[in-house]
Homo-oligomer: A and B are copies of this chain.
Amino acid sequence: MQYNVEVRTSLKKGMLNPEASTIEKALALLNFEVENTKTINIIQFSLNAENKEEALAQVDEMCQKLLCNPVIHDYEINISEE
């Protein structure tokens, strides 16, 4: 069975986000005032697995081992059938 996977990674609350603060400052230089800037990264891919549970277990392992840094990132996994 082929599954579409989306992994959404964001920094945990309280972590400094230099990318977001740079965006906010650069927008301010262009006279745009914005607040509470956050950045989120999404990785999408397709994956073969026996069933949804197996797919979820595999993707969770990928997140722990490579896609995210569990110390600083929160992640969310969405899996749908192709």
Contacts and interface: CB of A to CB of B under 8 A. Distances in A.
A20 B47 CA distance: 15
Stoichiometry, as copies per complex, reads 2
A44 B35 contact: no
Contact of A46 (B23, B35, B46, B61): B35
Interface residues of A, number: 30
30 contacts: A5-B34, A20-B43, A23-B43, A23-B45, A23-B66, A23-B67, A24-B45, A26-B66, A27-B62, A30-B62, A30-B66, A32-B62, A33-B47, A34-B45, A34-B47, A36-B45, A36-B46, A37-B43, A37-B44, A37-B45, A38-B44, A38-B45, A39-B41, A39-B43, A40-B41, A40-B42, A40-B44, A41-B41, A41-B42, A42-B42
